[in-house]
Amino acid sequence: DAKTTQPNSMESNEEEPVHLPCNHSTISGTDYIHWYRQLPSQGPEYVIHGLTSNVNNRMASLAIAEDRKSSTLILHRATLRDAAVYYCIGRNNNDMRFGAGTRLTVKP
């Protein structure tokens, strides 16, 4: 998997948008970008994934830079339930290699 770099932590206010960045400058053309999150005391949970185009689903949006060297996970309105560790993975393999992720704190 491509090496990814994420900030260790970020803070957001409830009901405001959150932009979680990820750098993956060594990504290859066929690597998919996956985002998972892990809520406290739970297993990781799939959020979204994409290859080149921006993607939207009911949980979030994924904006992928034109050169694919970075991406941003967008939570449109953060809730307290979104407080979690968010993992960005540049995937070219069967398995997934999780980094340290970004710990998101949501303040009421």
Query: From the list 14, 44, 61, 69, which residue makes contact with other proteins (rule: CB under 8 A)?
Result: 44
Say whether 81 sits in a helix, a strand or coil. helix
Concatenated DSSP letters of 21-78: EEE-TT--TTPEEEEEEE-TTS--EEEEEESSS-EE-SS-EEEE-TTSSEEEEEESS-
Residue 43 makes contact with other proteins by CB under 8 A: yes
- When binding is defined by CB under 8 A, the residue of 5, 9, 46, 105 that contacts other proteins is 46
Contacting other proteins within 65-104 (CB under 8 A): 87, 91-100
In angstroms, give the least distance from the CB of 33 to other proteins.
10
Identify which of residues 27 and 78 has a Cβ nearer to other proteins in the complex.
27
Binding site for other proteins (CB under 8 A): 30-32, 36, 38, 42-46, 49, 51, 87, 91-100
